[in-house]
Chains A and B, each alone.
Chain A
């Protein structure tokens, strides 16, 4: 890895970056947390969740798709931005059916952990209560589209890591939804396997490995122990250590 050639500032803190790096990657490398759901270290950014909204001067941009450049003065952890992030999280909750008490991802879900982190007490907006198709055709993997937040992490993971291109987003506007690239449109007729990154990368309870629910006792689940901030920073350190070792 080449030495950082220059720096930017996030909330008054000097952060080094490598030219070509996004603000998100530079921040995570410097152990600075910018809230995010659709960003995943190593995968190309998508910029669709908007949780990583930051301010540079009088412009709001998404940190995951904006390149770092010298001398940027960035606001990240401000009350206003965290309030905006909470509203975005509320929108994600009402657009799907996020009935946490009956979801097997509860306690291990990034959307839920984000809502805890931002102090979300209620959904504020009217619920959509959408009716979206559930795909239980695969013997080992369940796809419950009612919880999908269309972050397209599974789409990217399947294409970039697994080399299978199992998933895609179809439809426009509020009708946008996850589809399976198989002749029948069913998961069982796709090439997906439970060892694929796409099968486990889902940040919410939309793609689940079957018969593994409720195995971790309450109190020992991921976000029972740590906030999404602490978990993301730890994962980032782990990813860098792995990449440096390669």
Chain B
């Protein structure tokens, strides 16, 4: 029998806190089983810089700056199934609380007028991605195939998503598992 090729998974954190990635790792010893079926492409867990063609892309975090938009589009172009993981990716999450304020006011507060600031200046090197006017949900930028709510989703939720996807079925998160917090 031919060895089944492993599915490729890419993951990234945009305006995220890496909590969803930590929750992914909370699968603990079940990760070993998972790695018999999948391998990682571009991910904070690997050293791969550019996302290649993948079966599944997991996006953590909302979209807060220009680089986030670029990475998100790269993932959409390369991943057959793109999943918004966690509250931030789904609706902006806690970082979207900055949407109450003008982005320039935020920068001024932190880099110019904030308490304890020395040599006040707003970073302007072109190496740095510019902030967007607001924090956006990833579905505002690209089409998203599935959503995995939670802040973060539990390890069990990741399994409920991945197990059907690995055998080509539609994931159905059970209602008793649903959490947004």
Contact = CB atoms under 8 A, between A and B. Distances in A.
A97 B91 CA distance: 9
Contacts of A103: 181
Interface string A206-233: 0000000000000000000000000000
A94 B139 CA distance: 13
Nearest to B177: A116
Nearest to B178: A116
Contacts, number: 73
Contacts of B96: 97, 99, 127, 129
Contacts of A102: 94, 97
Interface residues of B, number: 28
Contacts of B178: 115-116, 119-121
Contacts of B91: 93-94, 98-99, 122-123, 127
Secondary structure at the A interface, as helix, strand, loop or mixed, is: loop
A106 B173 contact: no
Contacts of B137: 123, 127
Contacts of B148: 121
A126 interface: yes
Q: Indicate the size class of the contact surface on chain A.
A: 20 to 34
Given A119-B175, A121-B173, A100 B84 contact: no
A106 B175 contact: no
A103 B87 CA distance: 13
Secondary structure at the B interface, as helix, strand, loop or mixed, is: mixed
A206 to B, nearest CB: 16
A101 interface: yes
Interface in A162-185: none
Interface in B130-176: 134, 136-137, 139-140, 144, 146-149, 151, 173, 175
B94 A99 contact: yes
B94 A101 contact: yes
Nearest to B100: A131
B175 A100 contact: no
A117 interface: yes
21 contacts: A97-B96, A98-B91, A100-B87, A101-B93, A106-B180, A112-B180, A116-B175, A119-B173, A119-B175, A119-B178, A121-B90, A121-B146, A122-B84, A122-B139, A122-B149, A123-B91, A123-B137, A126-B140, A127-B92, A127-B137, A129-B92
Top 6 closest pairs, chain A to chain B, by CB: A101-B151, A122-B147, A100-B180, A106-B181, A129-B99, A121-B147
